[in-house]
Amino acid sequence: MSEPLLLLPSLANSRDWDRGSRARVQVLNPEPVFIMIKKVVSTIVFALVSVLTVCAGAATASASAAASTDTIVTMPFENLSGRAEYNWVGESFAAALADLLDKPGLVGIRPDERNVAYKQEGLPPTAILTRATMIKIAERAGANLVVMGTYRIAGEGRDSSITITARVIDIREGRMVGKEYNRGGPLVDLQKLQGDLAYEILYQHNNALPFSRDQIGVDATQAPVGAFENFIKGTLTHDREARIGFLQRAIKEYAEKATDKTRPKYIPAIFELGRIYFEGADYKEAIEQLIQIDDRDPRYDESQFYVGAAQSALGQEDAALATNQKLATRLPLFEVYNNIGVLLIKKKNYADAVEHLKPAVDAAPRDSDTVFNLGYAYFLAKDYSGAAATLKTETRQRPSDGEAFYILSKALAAAGDQAGAAAASDQAKKLLTAYAQWETKGMPNVARIKTGFSKINYYRYKRDQDERLNSQTQVTGLTQQVDQLLESARAAFTAGRNEDALASLGKLLQAAPQNYDAHLLMGRVYERRGDFDRASNALKAAVFWNPKLVPAHVLLGRIAVLKNDCTAAQASLARALQIDPDNQDAQALKRLVDQKCTPPAKQQ
């Protein structure tokens, strides 16, 4: 007996899915197919954390919250050089470290998965982020460790050099793990630096690391430097033809210069090129690239989904059906089962098509195309009552679907509901431009294949199936709860209820230690109470997570003036004015600092 399969629901069916709330999944037993469907509940394990002002016992909390295997994501490093031609270097750290850090004890999250989290936050992958937003992205991606860093480029051409600074943050506690990494060297040695950084992170995580620095370095420099640069640029460039050119050059140079004969193909670049071809409907070229990816590669499942859809588009139904049926045992997303149902319709195997489409609709009841396909399959199987019921649901969801109204009219007529059939037919006449042609020449095959799938569900499923994580649910953001607590704290502060404000902020910072607005408000509460030491600690936490938070710099400056610490006051003032020279509060602080900290002889 095969193991039961999870059929994951569409994200559109539950807004709670990506917030870590309950989400519905369907459990399917394939022998025989779809006999039983069960509901299961995703359990969210949230680690209580603290940062700076929140808890003095952070080390104890860390020990209890830490998982046996951590999940780590690398954010694009920030280019401090002001030289846009080197922006690709920042993303190269994310791409390289995702693979280099994916070792026993750590699960690396690749840029594709991280970019899904960017999309959920409404941000482009190229956005420059505050530390707090980086933490939100990491949480969305299911990570509990995040690598962030900066770099500077000096010189020109092959004489260019790079200096990098990097740190690892444990988002369960909001603290840096180990030491800050600072290195430099020739830009042509970029991959060696990335390998060295990866080794340092791995060693900090586990000093019994079963890999040497040299072994990690060999992995880091597996791709020739030119191939690596072209690959990264190919993933970042927006122009389609330019992307194809970069990736083709990367694949060619890798094949010519790579020294590891056990890995003769540049699979990451091959996958990206195949995906670009698929998205551009160049299906033959897409298949040629994607079939080179074998089932040991983490990109295999996604590549097979595209292969199956491309085969279907080229009329290779037998091959497409075989591809999707094999994929369903590895990737039981509703889109895969929808496509199997569509291919079975094309082969006129309507009963089996229904049996595949029913659980797909159960998992994705608001995906109109899947609902349409089930109604269409019922109709072709001459189950007219089933077709009518399903297509009524679909047309309520999508009242502009002329094809659905047309089939609904035929199903109702066959079921004896002439009035209903006439009403549906009237709608079809309004919406379906091919109505007259269908009436005279017959209805073509209108089953709807899925050419894409929910990346959120895909990565969620892959993470759940990763045995290294011991079935532990990753840290997730509780955005709604955090927002409610922050509003409660603000209301209490406005009303002068300091203790109530602090209570709400304490709960909030346990859940979201990176929330700089909460740290800022806590600083204001303590400042109003005259507890300047605690206020300063809270405000320093705020500017750690958002170095450009002018109100926190201003309040730190005011507190420093009250404590007669003119050096600290002037430093806070300088940072505030550097960020926003015209800020009124910063200008007010300047007048205060000039009054309190300027020697009497200079006041004349």
- Give the CATH number, domain containing residue 121: 3.40.50
Residue 69 lies in a domain: yes
What is the sign, positive or negative, of the torsion defined by CA atoms of 462, 467, 468, 474? positive
| Residue 275 contacts residue 288 (beta carbons within 8 Å) | no
Spell out the residues 6+ positions from residue 503 whose beta carbon is closer than 8 angstroms to its own: none
For the chain, how far is it from start to end, CA to CA, in angstroms? 92
Q: What is the pLDDT of residue 211?
A: 85
Rounded CA separation 448/473 (Å): 34
User: What's the CATH code of the domain at 570?
Assistant: 1.25.40.10
Residue ranges in the chain modelled with pLDDT below 70: 1-68, 466-480, 511, 513-514, 600-604
Rounded CA separation 28/34 (Å): 5
Residue 325 lies in a domain: no
| Residue 526 contacts residue 535 (beta carbons within 8 Å) | yes
Tell me, letter by letter, the H, E, C secondary structure of 85-117: HHHHHHHHHHHHHHHHCCCCCEEEECHHHHHHH
Rounded CA separation 443/314 (Å): 21
Specify the 3-state DSSP secondary structure of 179: strand
Q: What is the pLDDT of residue 132?
A: 84
User: Identity (one letter) of the amino acid at 342?
Assistant: V
CA distances to 310, 315, 343, 580 from 337, in Å: 16, 18, 10, 54
Q: What is the pLDDT of residue 406?
A: 97
| Residue 145 contacts residue 70 (beta carbons within 8 Å) | yes
Q: What is the pLDDT of residue 35?
A: 31
Dihedral pair phi/psi, residue 585, rounded to 5° = -65, -35
CB-hemisphere CA count at 13 Å for 348?
Answer: 1
Last residue of one domain, picked from the residues 191, 221, 251? 221
Rounded CA separation 363/28 (Å): 11
Token pair recorded at residue 443: 């209805």
| Residue 345 contacts residue 353 (beta carbons within 8 Å) | yes
What does DSSP assign to residue 44? Answer: P
Q: What is the pLDDT of residue 514?
A: 67
Residue 458 lies in a domain: no
Domain around 125: 65-221
Rounded CA separation 288/304 (Å): 12
Residue 563 lies in a domain: yes
Q: What is the pLDDT of residue 254?
A: 95
Residue 580 lies in a domain: yes
Last residue of one domain, picked from the residues 164, 186, 221? 221
Residue 380 lies in a domain: no
Rounded CA separation 303/294 (Å): 9
In 3D space, the residue among 328, 356, 309 whose CA is nearest the CA of residue 4 turns out to be: 328
What torsion do the CA atoms of 78, 84, 89, 94 make, to the nearest 10 degrees? 50
183 burial via Cβ count (<10 Å: 0-12, 13-18, 19+): middle
The helix (H) or strand (E) run that includes residue 322 is helix 317-328
Rounded CA separation 68/322 (Å): 38
Last residue of one domain, picked from the residues 221, 251, 270? 221
Q: What is the pLDDT of residue 459?
A: 82
Q: What is the pLDDT of residue 513?
A: 67
The number of distinct structural domains making up the chain is: 2
| Residue 378 contacts residue 386 (beta carbons within 8 Å) | yes
- How much of the chain is helix, strand and coil, in % rounded to 5? 60, 10, 30
Specify the 3-state DSSP secondary structure of 582: coil
If one counts every other C-beta atom within 10 angstroms of the C-beta of residue 173, the result is 24
| Residue 533 contacts residue 562 (beta carbons within 8 Å) | no
In 3D space, the residue among 475, 441, 482 whose CA is nearest the CA of residue 72 turns out to be: 475
| Residue 594 contacts residue 562 (beta carbons within 8 Å) | no
In 3D space, the residue among 569, 570, 571 whose CA is nearest the CA of residue 558 turns out to be: 569
Q: Is 157 left (phi over 0), alpha (psi -120 to 50) or beta?
A: left
**Cα 399 off chain centre by:** 32
Q: Where are the alpha helices (DSSP H) in 211-282?
A: 213-220, 225-236, 240-257, 267-279
Q: What is the pLDDT of residues 243-297, one digit of tens each?
A: 999 999 999 999 999 877 778 899 999 999 999 999 999 999 999 999 999 998 9
Rounded CA separation 507/35 (Å): 45
Rounded CA separation 230/167 (Å): 27
Rounded CA separation 110/563 (Å): 48
Rounded CA separation 526/518 (Å): 12
User: Identity (one letter) of the amino acid at 64?
Assistant: S
Residue 29 lies in a domain: no
The helix (H) or strand (E) run that includes residue 27 is strand 24-28
In 3D space, the residue among 477, 548, 488, 566 whose CA is nearest the CA of residue 521 turns out to be: 488
Token pair recorded at residue 161: 């050099």
Give strand pairing partners of 26: 7, 39
CA distances to 272, 424, 426 from 373, in Å: 30, 18, 22
Residue 199 lies in a domain: yes
Specify the 3-state DSSP secondary structure of 122: coil
In 3D space, the residue among 478, 503, 483, 479 whose CA is nearest the CA of residue 492 turns out to be: 503
